[in-house]
Amino acid sequence: MKAYINFLIVLLLTVTLTSCEVVGGIFKGGVWTGVILVVAVIAIVIWALSKAFGGGRR
């Protein structure tokens, strides 16, 4: 059930954030701020997926 909720949250974020808005915000804030934000978002998504699918358990 928890994995289902995590999946819904990720799906909601991908639907509500369009790529044009994200790219526009990145260029307004500066390239390095954008790079840091993109790396942070990717890290959070990987972390959430690993938690959702039982990462670390054998």
58 within a domain of the structure (yes/no): no
* Each residue's pLDDT expressed in tens, for the chain with a length of 58 residues: 777 888 887 777 777 767 777 777 767 778 787 788 889 999 999 998 898 888 655 5
CA distance 38 to 48: 15
14 within a domain of the structure (yes/no): yes
Looking at residue 56, what is its pLDDT?
Answer: 59
57 within a domain of the structure (yes/no): no
20 within a domain of the structure (yes/no): yes
26 within a domain of the structure (yes/no): yes
Looking at residue 39, what is its pLDDT?
Answer: 93
Looking at residue 40, what is its pLDDT?
Answer: 94
Looking at residue 57, what is its pLDDT?
Answer: 59
Tally of domains in the chain: 1
Looking at residue 21, what is its pLDDT?
Answer: 73
* Full domain range(s) for residue 20: 2-52
Looking at residue 31, what is its pLDDT?
Answer: 77
Which amino acid does the sequence have at 54? G
CA distance 52 to 25: 29
39 within a domain of the structure (yes/no): yes
